[in-house]
């Protein structure tokens, strides 16, 4: 089995596991307060769950980190799509 084929299967497995975990978190009716999905944590970090109405330095830092991650991730995902 080629190296790229192994990574292809690893990415597929990761995506499926992520989907199962997120969907189960969304559909779980017995959540405790503070049990959130990844999207809830990201929204809280970047300041879209505004409690005080002001953006903090931590919110801006989180936004910058997410932009940096996405700018690195997009070319890698394009390469991954070409493997399929």
pLDDT digits (tens, 9 = 90+) for 21-46: 888 877 877 766 666 777 777 777 77
Query: Which residues are within 8 A (CB) of 28 and not within 5 positions of it... i.e. 6 or more apart?
Result: 35
Torsion over CA of 4, 9, 11 and 16, rounded to 10 degrees? 170
pLDDT digits (tens, 9 = 90+) for 52-72: 667 778 778 888 888 898 888
Q: Cβ distance 59 to 45 under 8 Å?
A: yes
Residue 31 carries which DSSP code? P
Q: How confident is the model at residue 83, as a pLDDT?
A: 65
Dihedral over Cα of 34, 35, 38, 40: its sign: negative
The residue ranges of every structural domain in the chain are: 3-83
Q: What is the mean pLDDT of residues 80-84?
A: 68
pTM over 0.75: no
Based on C-alpha coordinates, what's the Rg of the chain? Answer: 17
């Amino acid at each position: 089995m080629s190296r790229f084929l192994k990574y292809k299967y690893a990415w597929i497995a990761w995506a499926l596991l992520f989907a199962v975990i997120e969907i189960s978190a969304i559909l779980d009716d017995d959540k405790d307060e503070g049990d959130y999905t990844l999207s809830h944590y990201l929204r809280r970090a970047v300041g879209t769950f505004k409690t005080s109405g002001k953006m903090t330095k931590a919110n801006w830092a989180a936004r910058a980190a997410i932009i940096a991650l996405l700018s690195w991730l997009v070319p890698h995902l394009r390469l991954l799509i070409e493997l399929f």
